[in-house]
Each structure stands twice: as C-alpha cells, then as structure tokens.
Amino acid sequence: MTDCIFCRIANGEIPAKIVRQDADTVAFRDLNPQAPTHVLVIPRRHLATLLDAGPEDGPLLAKLTQAAVEVARDLGLADDGFRLVVNTRESAGQSVFHLHVHLLGGRRMRWPPG
C-alpha cells in the first residue's frame, strides 16, 4: 500500500531506527515512546488491523510475536519483563492502520492499562 507509512518504512522509503528485520517482519523504535523501551513490530505485508488477518495468517502472527520476543531479549527486557500490545481500530487506540505490535519495557507496567 503506497500511502501507508509503515509499508514505506518496511520498504526502506522512510528512515526509521530499525532494531531487527527479516523477510517477514520489521521492528523499529517508536517516535512517540510510551516507555523507556518502545518498539513497533510490523509485518512487511500490509494488514490494516488484526481483524484483517485470516486463518492463513497464523504463521505470520506467530512470526510477529517471536520477533517481538527476540527484540525484548536483545534489548535486555527479558529478565524484568515486558508488555506486548496490539490495538485494533480507533477506540482501542490504533492510529496507524497497518497491523503492529507494541513492545513496551524498561519500567513497571500498570493494570489495567487504560
């Protein structure tokens, strides 16, 4: 999708602080961090929301989760813990309509989250 900012980041058209990438996923630092460590993990393939993922996307969703876990380990978050968040649609806080996982860590998280 040519007008999607995350697609453009995944394609290297827009610079980002990439922390990990492979054939299916890209992880980069959030420009508006909500925790000391805030990384977004996205699929290279455009899916607007989690609701657009079908049964055939199970392997891709697993890769997103695994990529987030690897980034958490690489950034030293595994021992103290971290949070993964997927916002789906506006009321849940989604502002960029390209499926993405927020990896948050480096501080104590509260519950409920908001």
> What pLDDT score was predicted for residue 113?
81
Residue 110 within a domain:
no
Q: CA–CA separation, 31 vs 8, rounded Å? A: 15
Q: CA–CA separation, 97 vs 42, rounded Å? A: 11
Residue 114 within a domain:
no
Question: What CATH code is carried by the domain that includes residue 35?
Answer: 3.30.428.10
Domain residue limits at 88:
5-105
Q: Is 100 a catalytic residue?
A: yes
Confidence bin at 1 (pLDDT 50/70/90): low
* pTM score: 0.95
Residue 25 within a domain:
yes
Residue 70 within a domain:
yes
The one catalytic residue among 38, 46, 98, 100: 100
User: pLDDT tens for residues 5-52?
Assistant: 999 999 999 999 999 999 999 999 999 999 999 999 999 999 999 999
Domains identified in the chain, total number:
1
